[in-house]
Amino acid sequence: MSATAARRRALLCLGAAVLPLRGRAQALQGPAGAVVLSIGGRIARTNQGDRAALDMAMLEALAQHSLSTRTPWFTESRKFTGPLLRDVLGLVGAQGSTLRIAALNDYRADMPAEDTRRYDVLLARMVNDKPVPVREKGPLLVIYPFDSEPTLRTPLFYSRSVWQVKSIDVL
């Protein structure tokens, strides 16, 4: 399948993603590709039991944003691209006040959900316009706009910027 066809399919899936079920829960269209992110906890839309499983095409179908910023993990400023974390949370109907973000190596950080409303926090899927392999901190990274918000350049916010993101639990 071409990249254009895959993107169209993902948009169609997202357009039809929310199907009413009995009660308050709603179903989210299932992923067509490999799952790169699992979201659970206080969410309204699921597709895998009580969790939402997202593939890269589902993340690509959301509005994409870019920011260039320095981080403690790269020697120079990098361009990060991906959906805003608040848009990803909106896709699954997140309703909590805390996000517990886990990495592939089981590092965990808690982030106030308010951060996603207050700042343009990215769930970056590309660095310098290229997909990010696991060995280079990918495939997903939580990135705050450190250079445009100097108050974010603290160990607290750096600790919330999880790389190799595999799951988010909404508490």
Domains of the chain: 3-170 (3.90.420.10)
What pLDDT does residue 65 have? 98
The Cα–Cα gap between 10 and 14 comes to 6
The count of C-alpha atoms lying within 13 angstroms of the C-alpha of 75, restricted to the half-sphere facing its C-beta, is: 0
pLDDT at 29 over 60: yes
pLDDT at 17 over 60: no
- pLDDT band for position 25 (50/70/90)? low
- pLDDT band for position 9 (50/70/90)? very low
**Average per-residue pLDDT for the chain:** 89
pLDDT at 158 over 50: yes
pTM of this structure: 0.85
- pLDDT band for position 75 (50/70/90)? confident
What pLDDT does residue 26 have? 75
- pLDDT band for position 74 (50/70/90)? confident
Which residues have a Cβ under 8 Å from the Cβ of 73 and sit 6 or more positions away?
Answer: 137, 163
Q: Contact 30/9 with Cβ under 8 angstroms?
A: no
pLDDT at 57 over 90: yes
